[in-house]
C-alpha cells in the first residue's frame, strides 16, 4: 500500500508541475483554444435551457466552440459552470466572458481537472489494480498497471497542459474494464455507457467490450442463462442511455441536432497532421481532392470494421480478461489508424488500454508510450509545453532502462539470447534515434517556404509506421496468448 501512495503522490506532483505551463490558445484570439472551449461550454450550459445547448442561435454561436460532445460532457460543464458562477460570475457571463483569462480562472480550471482525477480516474485505476490482483498470473507485478495508469505522461500533458477532461471518460472506461474482469458485467456496462456518453471517441473501445460481453453471454451453458444474462446487460445499457439522453428525447429536432453535432462529417478526414493511415497516405495520394467527405467517411467506417473483425471474433470465442485487454489495445489501434477525423490527441485512447497490459509487455508498451508522446510534438510545442514533454519523455526512458536492468520481472523482460528480441532492441534504439533527430530538427530548424508542414508530416508518417508495427505485434500477442478462463460460476454471478 505504501508504494501505491508514493506512486499516486508522484502522479499528482507531476500533474501539478505540468499545470504551471501554458494551456491551449492562451492569449491567442479570436478562437483561443481548447481551454476556451471548455470554459465556453460552462458559459452556455449555465445560461441557456438544456434544449438550446446544441442549437445554433444568437446566444449560442456554434461556430464559436459549439458543444460537440455527448450530454454527459454538457452536464459536467453545467456543474463546473455553477461553481464558476458562484466563485466569480464574470467567469461564465453570457457573451462578455469570451476569451476570459486570469490567474484565478486558470487555477479554477486546473482544479476542475484535478477533482475529476480524484473522483473518477485515480479510483478507477485502483479498482483495476484490485480486479487484476484477484486473477493469475504473476500477481506481484500487477502494480505496474497502476503505475502506468497514474504516471503515463501523455494523459496529463493533454489534460493539465493543453487542457481537456480525458481523465473523465478514460476513468469510466478503466472502471468498466475492472468491473468486467471481476465478473460484474452490468456495472461494467453502465460505466462504459458513462464513458461513451462523455466522449463519443470511446467508440474506440466499444466493439471489443461488445464482443466480450456477447462471448460471456454465450458461455452461460444454457439458453435461459444466455437470455437472462443478455437481458440484464441490455436493460442496464438502455436505462443508462435513457436517463442521460432524457432531456433531449421529447423533441426530435433537438435530438437529431445533438447527434449531428457528435458526428460532424463536414469537418473532413483530418485537420492537423496526425499519425493515422489516411493522413500518412495522403502525402502521396491527395484523398481529400479525390473523394468527397461522405464517401470517405464510409470508406473509413468499412475499413475500420473489417480490420477489427479478426480481433473481435477471437475475443468472442475466447472471452477472458487477458484477451479482453489485448483486444482493447488492438481495437484502439485500428480505430486510430483507420477511422474518420482522428485527432493527434486520440492516441490517448490507445495508450490507456496499453497501460492495462503493462506487466505483460513492459518493453513494447513503454516504447509505444514514447512514440505516442513524441507524435504529439507539434500540438505540444504550439501550446508551450515543449519542456515538460521532453522532460517526461526522458523520465519514461529512464524508467524503461531501470526496468530492463533491474531483473524484477524476468518473465516479461526481453531475452538477451532470443534473436527476435535482439532485433527488437536494436530497432528500438534506431527508432529513438529517429525521433530524437526529428524532435531536434523540428525545434531548431525552419522548414523550406514551399513545404511549411515538412517536419510535422515527417513526424506523423514516421509515427504511423510505428503504430502499424505495434498493431501487428499486439494482434500476434492476442492470438497466441494463453490464459485460464474464468469459471462458469463466476460468469453467472452478474
- Count Cβ neighbours within 10 Å for each residue of 12-47 and write b for 16 or more, e otherwise: bebbeebbebbbbbbeeeeebbbbbbbbbbbbbbbb
Which of 80, 77, 73, 71 has its CA nearest to residue 248? Answer: 71
36 domain-assigned:
no
3-state secondary structure string across the chain: CHHHHHHHHHHHHHHHHHHCCCCCCCCCCCCCCHHHHHHHHHHHHHHCCHHHCCCCECCECCCCCCCCCCHHHHHHHHHHHHHHHHHCHHHCCCCCCCCCCCHHHHHHHHHHHHHHHHHHHHHHHHHHHHHHHCCCCCHHHCHHHHHHHHHCHHHHHHHHHHHCCHHHHHHHHHHHHHHHHCCCHHHHHHHHHHHHCCCHHHHHHHHHHHHHHHHHHHCCCCHHHHHHHHHHHHHHHHHHHHHHHHHHHCCHHHHHHHHHHHCCHHHCCCCCCCCCHHHHHCCCCCHHHHCCHHHHHHHHHHHHHHHHHHHHHHHHHCCCHHHHHHHHHHHHHHHHHHCCCCCHHHHHHHHHHHHCCCCCCHHHHHHHHHHHHHCCHHHHHHCCCHHHHHHHHHHHHHHHHHHHHHCCCCCCCCCCCCHHHHHHHHHHHHHHHHHHHHHHHHHHCCCCCCCCCHHHHHHHHHHHHHHHHHHHHHHHHHHHCCCCCCCHHHHCCC
416 domain-assigned:
yes
Supply the pLDDT for residue 114. 97
83 domain-assigned:
no
238 domain-assigned:
no
Supply the pLDDT for residue 311. 96
Number of domains in the chain: 1
What is the distance between the alpha carbons of residues 176 and 324, in angstroms, rounded to a whole number?
Answer: 12
Cα torsion through 13, 367, 146, 485, rounded to 10: 170
146 domain-assigned:
yes
Supply the pLDDT for residue 406. 56
Supply the pLDDT for residue 141. 58
Supply the pLDDT for residue 487. 37
| pLDDT digits 0-9 by tens, 59-87 | 999 999 999 999 999 999 999 999 999 99
Supply the pLDDT for residue 35. 95
Q: Provide the domain limits for residue 322.
A: 2-6+19-29+99-214+264-491
Supply the pLDDT for residue 442. 92
Supply the pLDDT for residue 327. 97
Supply the pLDDT for residue 475. 96
86 domain-assigned:
no
Supply the pLDDT for residue 297. 86
Supply the pLDDT for residue 489. 35
Q: Which stretches of the chain drop beneath a pLDDT of 50? A: 407-411, 484-494
55 domain-assigned:
no
483 domain-assigned:
yes
Amino acid at each position: 500500500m505504501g508504494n501505491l501512495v508514493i506512486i499516486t503522490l508522484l502522479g499528482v506532483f507531476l500533474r501539478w508541475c505540468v499545470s504551471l505551463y501554458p494551456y491551449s490558445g492562451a492569449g491567442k484570439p479570436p478562437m483561443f483554444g481548447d481551454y476556451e472551449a471548455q470554459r465556453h461550454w460552462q458559459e452556455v450550459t449555465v445560461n441557456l435551457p438544456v434544449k438550446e445547448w446544441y442549437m445554433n442561435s444568437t446566444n449560442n454561436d456554434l461556430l464559436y466552440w459549439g458543444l460537440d460532445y455527448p450530454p454527459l460532457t454538457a452536464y459536467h460543464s453545467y456543474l463546473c459552470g455553477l461553481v464558476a458562477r458562484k466563485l466569480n460570475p464574470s467567469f461564465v457571463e453570457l457573451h462578455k466572458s469570451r476569451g476570459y483569462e486570469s490567474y484565478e480562472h486558470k487555477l479554477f480550471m486546473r482544479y476542475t481537472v484535478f477533482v475529476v482525477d480524484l473522483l473518477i480516474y485515480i479510483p478507477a485505476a485502483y479498482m483495476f489494480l484490485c480486479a487484476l490482483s484477484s486473477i493469475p498470473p504473476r500477481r506481484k507485478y500487477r502494480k505496474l498497471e497502476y503505475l502506468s495508469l497514474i504516471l503515463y505522461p501523455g494523459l496529463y500533458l493533454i489534460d493539465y497542459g493543453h487542457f481537456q477532461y480525458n481523465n473523465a471518460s478514460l476513468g469510466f472506461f478503466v472502471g468498466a474494464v475492472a468491473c468486467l474482469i471481476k465478473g460484474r458485467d452490468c456495472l461494467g456496462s453502465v460505466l462504459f455507457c458513462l464513458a461513451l456518453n462523455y466522449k463519443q471517441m470511446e467508440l474506440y473501445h466499444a466493439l471489443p467490450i461488445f464482443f466480450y460481453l456477447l462471448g460471456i453471454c454465450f458461455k452461460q451453458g444454457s439458453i435461459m442463462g444466455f437470455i437472462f444474462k443478455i437481458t440484464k446487460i441490455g436493460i442496464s445499457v438502455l436505462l443508462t442511455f435513457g436517463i442521460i439522453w432524457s432531456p433531449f428525447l421529447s423533441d426530435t429536432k433537438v435530438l437529431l441536432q445533438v447527434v449531428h453535432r457528435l458526428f460532424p462529417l463536414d469537418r473532413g478526414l483530418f485537420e492537423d497532421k496526425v499519425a493515422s493511415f489516411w493522413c500518412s497516405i495522403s502525402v502521396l495520394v491527395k484523398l481529400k481532392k479525390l473523394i468527397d467527405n461522405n464517401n470517405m467517411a464510409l470508406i473509413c467506417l468499412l475499413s475500420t470494421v473489417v480490420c477489427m473483425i479478426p480481433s473481435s471474433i477471437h475475443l468472442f470465442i475466447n472471452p477472458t480478461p487477458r484477451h479482453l485487454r489485448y483486444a482493447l489495445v488492438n481495437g484502439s489501434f485500428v480505430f486510430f489508424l483507420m477511422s474518420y477525423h482522428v485527432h493527434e490527441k486520440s492516441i490517448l485512447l490507445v495508450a490507456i488500454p496499453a497501460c492495462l497490459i503493462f506487466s505483460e509487455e513492459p518493453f513494447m508498451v513503454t516504447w509505444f508510450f514514447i512514440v505516442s508522446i513524441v507524435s504529439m510534438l507539434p500540438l505540444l510545442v504550439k501550446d508551450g509545453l515543449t519542456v515538460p514533454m521532453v522532460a517526461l519523455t526522458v523520465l519514461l526512458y529512464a524508467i524503461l532502462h531501470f526496468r530492463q536492468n533491474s531483473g524484477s520481472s524476468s518473465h516479461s523482460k526481453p531475452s538477451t539470447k532470443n534473436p527476435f528480441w535482439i532485433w527488437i532492441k536494436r530497432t528500438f534504439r534506431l527508432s529513438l534515434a529517429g525521433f530524437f533527430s526529428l524532435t531536434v530538427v523540428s525545434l531548431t530548424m525552419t522548414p523550406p517556404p514551399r513545404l511549411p508542414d515538412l517536419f510535422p508530416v515527417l513526424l506523423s508518417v514516421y509515427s504511423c509506421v510505428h503504430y502499424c508495427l505495434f498493431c501487428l505485434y499486439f494482434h500476434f500477442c492476442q492470438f497466441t496468448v494463453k490464459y485460464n478462463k474464468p469459471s462458469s460460476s463466476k460468469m453467472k454471478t452478474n
